[in-house]
Amino acid sequence: MLAEIDVTVREVGMRDGLQSIATIMPTADKQRWCREEFAAGVREIEVCSFVPPKLLPQFQDAVEVCTYALGLSGLTVVALVPNVKGAERAIAAGVHKMSFPMSVSESHSRSNVRRSVDESVVEFARICELVRSVNPRRRPKVSGGLATAFGCTIEGPVAEDRVVALAEKLAEVGADEVVVADTVGYAAPAAIRRVFRAVIAALGRLPVAAHFHDTRGLGLANVLAAWDVGVRAFDASLGGFGGCPYAPGASGNIATEDLVFMLEGMGLRTGVDLQRLIAVRAANAKALPGETFHGAIAIAGLPKGFVSASRLAS
Amino acid sequence: MLAEIDVTVREVGMRDGLQSIATIMPTADKQRWCREEFAAGVREIEVCSFVPPKLLPQFQDAVEVCTYALGLSGLTVVALVPNVKGAERAIAAGVHKMSFPMSVSESHSRSNVRRSVDESVVEFARICELVRSVNPRRRPKVSGGLATAFGCTIEGPVAEDRVVALAEKLAEVGADEVVVADTVGYAAPAAIRRVFRAVIAALGRLPVAAHFHDTRGLGLANVLAAWDVGVRAFDASLGGFGGCPYAPGASGNIATEDLVFMLEGMGLRTGVDLQRLIAVRAANAKALPGETFHGAIAIAGLPKGFVSASRLAS
């Protein structure tokens, strides 16, 4: 039985984590990961990316993984789509939500997806248009992601009003949700508060989610800052894994288990059973022997007498 | 030239870090550490512990290290004193401030210092009395530290009103400052806010500082939470080093360099030059070859175009 929740924890490790490692995780392991993390209480998982399989062989089993995940009743199945072509494949696979990432930084956009920022907005608008042509009963939600919203390794600082303006554009052309991302772990809590406050004010009732990397150790402080100004959905990667190819030894996304520990420790219900989540991480570590796992709670163990806000039967 | 500061970063690695490792750092290295971190802008350093040298050979050079540190004009030199005997030695050495740690948890107190909590308060009162007998021109400040204020590995949870009551007692018997410590890394931001709010309200104008461990990854989120409710002084350990003997692989105190990165990134002036601070860490790593260093910013590097609030000539 699921308790009501105060905050949504969304697993993105199957996409953001797996895309940045060399090891290809076998399909059966991806399915196990998905099943077990769902069983631990996570209700939204980005399970794959519909990039061209030649570009990222990690996701050549995208359809199989989606089909399996869609069988887990109650799970929101998300897939990354880099363009209209990817969106067509994701729609055919039947996902519940498509996430489209675009950069706020012009240089990052050009070097990463070989498109200008304006061209990315146009591509996103096309995806939204495509989605509107789908039968409403099978129509997926569309999430617009603003990468490098707090700075970029090429350009450095990014103007905050530019983030707000782009969030408004994504909403205008049809986003069901906007995700603001600190892709390279540059943000500090003060900027987090300013930007999310402004974006939330600009978008009214449209959901705004946060995607933070812990590259410079501020990931969870930034979650707290975003929570304080009204963000209620956070991306995270089990084992903080994936890392950043440009900073060897540095961690990648915030670790899902550490995020859940902090939120539950604050009395906020995530609906996630922390012990079971940590067990999924352990199984992943076995399935990916050479890879570096990050995160603190799995190593240090839960505090004695720790009471989880969700009070699942753990 | 020092800018005005918004928040005080206090180095405790020379005591809290060094006391938990096996390697004895040579006196010359301790002096270099002290000198270089002072040169980087840190203005308060806990340089040693006046525990009996037989108990902790790491600090057999306590007097030498203090004498050296006292030569750095503008540095507040702090030493830990476990009892009146230690206080006598610290006073003789001429330190500016003595820090006396006591546990909020009864079991931790008995197992760690073989005294009850009440006996610790009595010992602290004796130290305060001793200090009042010192010539005012040479009289050190006395800092009372409340360890395990957010839970204990033996007892588990600790009552929040107990922390406030003990803080009031320390103030009553003569503390110049109270430090509230999450010794084992159990605290989450919500508890931090509740407890520090209550302690600050109870102590009026008496300074209240925070001492956080990052054992479970929440150290910097807790700093943000404490900052939000008015805490303006934070302990930290360069390289987050020291670790926790009960959790292999887990980190110890929050890393000084990550703390400075977060605060400066938030536009808060610490007066510390982050690049120079990271250089001191690198020198320490050479001086302590077998030891594990933690912290993220030294590994990932500063964000491109990062602007430090203190704008020192770095």
Q: What is the pLDDT of residues B292-311, one digit of tens each?
A: 899 999 999 999 999 999 87
The string of pLDDT tens digits covering residues A258-292 is 999 999 999 999 999 999 999 999 999 999 998 88
Is B128 one of the annotated active-site residues of the chain?
A: no
Range from A166-170, A305-309, B310-314 carrying the lowest mean pLDDT: B310-314
Mean pLDDT along residues A243-257? 75
- Give the chain A residue whose CA is nearest to the CA of B150: A303
CB atoms within 10 A of CB B97: 18
Is A187 or B290 the better-scoring residue by pLDDT?
A187
In the structure, what pLDDT confidence band is assigned to residue A246 with cuts at 50, 70 and 90? Answer: low
Q: Picking from A83-92, B3-12, B124-133, B223-232, which range would have the lowest pLDDT averaged per residue?
A: B3-12
- Do the Cβ atoms of B190 and A303 come within 8 Å? no
Q: Do B224 and A225 touch (CB under 8 A)?
A: yes
Is the pLDDT confidence value at A312 over 60? no
pLDDT at A271: 97
What is the residue type of A38?
Answer: F
Residue B286: strand, helix, or coil = helix
For the segment B216-231, the average pLDDT, to the nearest whole number, is 98
Give the confidence band of B314 by pLDDT, cuts at 50, 70, 90: very low
Mutate which of B212, B244, B269, B304 to disrupt the A interface (most A C-beta within 10 Å)?
B304
CB contact under 8 A, B223 and A218: no
- Contact at 8 Å (CB) between A96 and A66? no
CA dihedral defined by A226, B198, B175, B264, rounded to 10 degrees? Answer: 10
CATH architecture for residues B8-300: Alpha-Beta Barrel (3.20)
d(CA A156, CA A236): 24
Mean pLDDT of B98-124: 95
Quote the CA–CA distance of A143 and A208 in Å, as a whole number: 10
Indicate the burial class of B309 (C-beta count within 10 angstroms; 0-12, 13-18, 19 or more).
buried
Contact A89, A127 (CB under 8 A): no
Which CATH class name applies to A8-295? alpha beta
Q: What is the pLDDT of residue A1?
A: 44
Which of B105, B220, B244 should we substitute to test contact with A (largest number of A Cβ atoms within 10 Å)?
A: B220
* CA B199/CA B192 separation, integer angstroms: 10
Question: CA A104 to CA A180: how far, in whole Å?
Answer: 10
Answer whether A216's CB lies under 8 Å from B258's CB. Answer: yes
Report the alpha-carbon distance of residue A148 to residue B61 in Å, rounded.
49
Catalytic residues of A: 244
Is the Cα torsion angle B67, B68, B72, B75 positive or negative in sign?
negative
Read off the pLDDT of each residue in A210-224 and give the average, rounded to a whole number. Answer: 97
Q: What proportion of chain A, given as a percentage, has pLDDT over 90?
A: 89
The domain segmentation of chain B, as residue ranges, is 8-300
Residue A314 has pLDDT above 60, yes or no: no
Q: ipTM of the predicted structure?
A: 0.94
In terms of DSSP bridges, do strands B141-147 and B208-212 run parallel, antiparallel, or are they unpaired? Answer: unpaired
pLDDT band with cut points at 50, 70 and 90 for residue B313: very low
Q: Is the pLDDT of residue A22 over 50?
A: yes
Please report residues of A whose CB lies closer than 8 A to that of B247: 299-301
What does pLDDT average to over chain B?
94
Q: What is the pLDDT of residue A240?
A: 94
Q: Which residues on B lie below 8 Å from A187 (Cβ)?
A: 265
pLDDT digits (tens, 9 = 90+) for B268-283: 999 999 999 999 999 9
